[in-house]
Amino acid sequence: MASASLLPVDRTLGVVLAVLLLAAVAVAAWAHLADEHDTYARGIATAGVRAAVQLAVVAALIGWVVKHEAALLGFVALMFAVAARTAGRRVTRNGTWWWAAVPIAAGALPVVVLLVLTGLVPVDGIALIPVAGILIGGALTATVLGGRRALEELRLRAGEVEAAMALGFTDRDARLEIARPAASGALVPGLDQTRTVGLVTLPGAFVGMLLGGASPVTAGAVQFFVLIALMAVQAVAVSVVLELVARGRITRTESAREPGRKPGRPGPKAVRDRAHGGPR
């Protein structure tokens, strides 16, 4: 009965998905949507193909994974590793990208551990994978948005950071004053989703529970829990990534020293690097 309410997996679904993906790529290409590294038309196409392959693999393996505790925990660890790399490479292209693992772990890990220890989510069941995936995904999004916005704000307002340093602010405090409002904006999507749940959207956890045969009250309780947990996870992730940017752990600078300049004699670029969160 529940399966009858879902999309039929047939040729029509495949055609519609292909048309939607091509439409997304075409619109992105027509509007020249891009960042400093790549065009989003290519990114959309790549993401669509990867999603199809990855979901096919997961669908084939999930039945076996949930029957073995070690494989289940290994799958969750793989989810975290992929999230850390994805977030890190979205935030910066230099060697500091791996620090993105810290805010994702700080946000998602305590909540997952709490759920397991209280028995709300069993380790030996399929529930751990979607719950951990939702929380890790939320931390990933918050880390990417918070980190990118913080670094971009420091780049655009480097003069203000340098002025704060000249007034006696430490490097960390000067960067925090400038980057905090921008990074905090990463919480807006989650807040809006929570504020409008049930009025504008019916999120996936709620709909999935209903299709699985749960009562509306149970589905609503699960969705409410997911939204509250996500707000906690994302608040922690944004706070931690902001702190890492302020302390110069995550940067967008390529080198601590300018070509042709002797060590110990900082030039204009070195001063700008300090304002951007780069090496001192």
Give pLDDT tens digits for 63-85. 788 777 788 888 899 999 999 99
- Structure confidence at residue 278 (pLDDT): 59
Global pTM value: 0.79
What is each CA distance from 255 to 35, 99, 236, 263, in whole angstroms? 22, 17, 30, 13
Classify residue 207 as exposed, middle or buried by CB count within 10 Å of its CB (0-12, 13-18, 19+).
middle
Mean pLDDT of 215-220: 79
CA angle 55, 56, 60 (to 5 degrees): 110
Minimum mean pLDDT among 100-109, 227-236, 260-269: which range? 260-269
Please state, for a pLDDT cut of 90, what percent of the chain lies above it: 47
Please tell me the distance from the alpha carbon of residue 262 to that of residue 257, in angstroms, as a whole number.
8
